[in-house]
């Protein structure tokens, strides 16, 4: 199995909102260790690793887009608020972002509705 051995995030980049490139050390299925990327195009035993980290300003409470984490949110889905979906999943940076993500976003609404109607599951189980 592909596993992460070590991750190091550079801490000397002072710019807020920029993408950080981490140092990631991976253990391959054959037990060798590498820093090579494992992409969706070239998976190892069907596994790949995708990651992005962004530096954000931590002393200020700012809503971040659930689709584009480097962007500040400008709108919140009221259906998510009513359905008690975790707020972090309800924010979007632009109306276009919300519209483009709707096919995937509406699955959260469907899960919430079916949980209320059928199972009564806790939010943690539904949305992680």
CB of 115 closer than 8 Å to CB of 121: yes
Measure the CA angle with vertex 45, ends 44 and 50; round to 5°: 45
Total domains, the chain: 2
Statement to judge: residues 83 and 44 lie in one domain:
no
Statement to judge: residues 47 and 87 lie in one domain:
no
| 118 within domain boundaries | yes
Position 127 pLDDT exceeds 80: no
Q: What is the pLDDT of residues 61-103, one digit of tens each?
A: 778 899 998 888 888 998 888 888 888 888 999 999 999 999 8
Statement to judge: residues 99 and 48 lie in one domain:
no
Measure the CA angle with vertex 99, ends 21 and 58; round to 5°: 40
pLDDT attached to residue 31: 87
Kindly compute the dihedral angle of the four CA atoms of residues 92, 94, 95, 96, in this order, to the nearest 10 degrees: -110
pLDDT attached to residue 6: 78
């Amino acid at each position: 199995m592909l596993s992460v051995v070590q991750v190091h995030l550079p801490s000397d980049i002072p710019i807020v909102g920029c993408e950080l490139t981490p140092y990631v050390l991976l253990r391959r299925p054959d037990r060798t260790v590498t820093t090579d990327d494992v992409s969706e195009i070239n998976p190892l035993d069907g596994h790949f690793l995708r990651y992005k980290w962004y530096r954000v300003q931590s002393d200020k409470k700012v809503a971040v887009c659930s689709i584009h984490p480097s962007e500040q949110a400008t709108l919140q889905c009221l259906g998510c608020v009513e359905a008690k979906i975790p707020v972090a999943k309800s924010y979007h940076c632009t109306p276009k972002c919300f519209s483009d993500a709707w096919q995937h976003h509406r699955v959260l609404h469907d899960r919430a509705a079916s949980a209320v109607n059928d199972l009564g599951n806790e939010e943690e189980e539904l949305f992680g």
